[in-house]
């Protein structure tokens, strides 16, 4: 079988997600961890795993009657780019990152939710698509639905600009083997310019969403606070709440913007 290296397809399936058109819903939720698919499965009806390949696990089901897919992205911008590009090729109309994040304000508590309205572009992969001056912004429609879902569920939620960083350790100001590779004032600088959290994937999703006319946004559970130096060791409950918020927002997206 001859397959193009430029546009590889395997029996009609995209090469990394190993899915074909018709396998995914209009709305796709994007956790990093493949294991998190099980949390969504427990909340959905008729949920089936469509494909599992490398860091990518894809499942599709229904929540309150609305179709929804979930696709893990792995960690960081490069693997997220692969997932998002292939999902858009498959027909996704809305993409919502659902993950964990570190807060940069002392009043944001572990277990709270953060909805990013935009993100600093420090991931790397999106630079191949648009210059750094091009902003990574969430779709109003997704932000609107996520905030209303948090309100409906009585969940504490913060909104603002985040930083998507292509490094977990040095790039986020953590010491590595006793060495500090970034200036000690990095977190102070982020606070000065009102960046409220750090994570690793949102800007990639937002940039690709903007470029290909796909609704995009992000909701993350706070796993740690870099100001108070707290870490939520057991964050399953926070993740379960976040999954519920994303699914409620999915319903609102269909009702308000995508057509029921």
Task: Determine the pLDDT at residue 260.
Answer: 60
For residue 8, is pLDDT > 90?
no
For residue 134, is pLDDT > 70?
yes
Question: Average pLDDT in the 223-240 region?
Answer: 94
- 142-154: pLDDT as tens digits: 999 999 999 999 9
Task: Determine the pLDDT at residue 9.
Answer: 79
For residue 3, is pLDDT > 90?
no
The residue among 136, 260, 253, 115 whose CA lies nearest residue 196 is 115
For residue 2, is pLDDT > 90?
no
Q: Give every CB contact of residue 154 below 8 A, 6+ residues apart in sequence.
A: none
Q: Give every CB contact of residue 229 below 8 A, 6+ residues apart in sequence.
A: none
For residue 4, is pLDDT > 90?
no
Whether the CB-CB separation of 170 and 50 falls below 8 Å is answered with no
Residue whose pair of structure tokens reads 């609704």 in the numeric block: 215
- Tell me the pLDDT of the chain averaged across its residues: 95
Q: What ranges do the domains of the chain cover? A: 27-258
**Beta-strand relationship, 113-122 and 215-225:** antiparallel
Question: Average pLDDT in the 29-34 region?
Answer: 97
Superfamily of structural domain 27-258: Nucleoside phosphorylase domain (3.40.50.1580)
| pTM (predicted TM-score) | 0.96
For residue 1, is pLDDT > 70?
no
- 153-198: pLDDT as tens digits: 999 999 999 999 999 999 999 999 999 998 878 999 999 999 999 9
Task: Determine the pLDDT at residue 80.
Answer: 98
Question: Average pLDDT in the 78-106 region?
Answer: 98
The residue among 88, 120, 85 whose CA lies nearest residue 198 is 120
Question: Average pLDDT in the 62-91 region?
Answer: 98
The percent of residues in the chain predicted with pLDDT above 90, rounded, is 92
């Amino acid at each position: 079988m001859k397959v193009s290296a430029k546009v590889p397809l395997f029996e009609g399936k995209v090469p990394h997600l190993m899915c074909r058109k018709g396998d995914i819903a209009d709305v796709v939720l994007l956790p990093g961890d493949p294991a998190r698919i099980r949390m969504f499965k427990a909340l959905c009806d008729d949920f089936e795993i469509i494909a599992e390949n490398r860091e990518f696990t894809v499942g599709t089901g229904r929540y309150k009657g609305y179709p929804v897919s979930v696709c893990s992205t792995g960690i960081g911008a490069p693997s997220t780019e692969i997932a998002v590009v292939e999902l858009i090729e498959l027909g996704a109309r809305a993409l919502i990152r659902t993950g964990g994040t570190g807060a940069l304000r002392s009043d944001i508590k572990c277990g709270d939710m953060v909805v990013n309205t935009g993100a600093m572009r420090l991931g790397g992969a999106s630079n191949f698509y648009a210059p750094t001056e091009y902003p990574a912004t969430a779709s109003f429609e997704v932000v609107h639905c996520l905030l209303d879902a948090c309100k409906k569920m009585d969940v504490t939620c913060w909104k603002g600009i985040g930083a998507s960083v292509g490094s977990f350790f040095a790039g986020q100001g953590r010491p590595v083997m006793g060495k500090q590779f970034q200036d000690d004032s990095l977190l102070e600088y982020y606070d000065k310019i009102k960046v409220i959290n750090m994570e690793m994937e949102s800007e990639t999703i937002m940039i690709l969403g903007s470029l290909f006319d796909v609704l995009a946004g992000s909701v993350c559970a706070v796993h740690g606070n870099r100001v108070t130096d707290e870490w939520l060791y057991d964050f399953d409950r926070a993740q379960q709440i976040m999954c519920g918020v994303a699914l409620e927002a999915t319903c609102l997206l269909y009702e308000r913007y995508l057509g029921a």
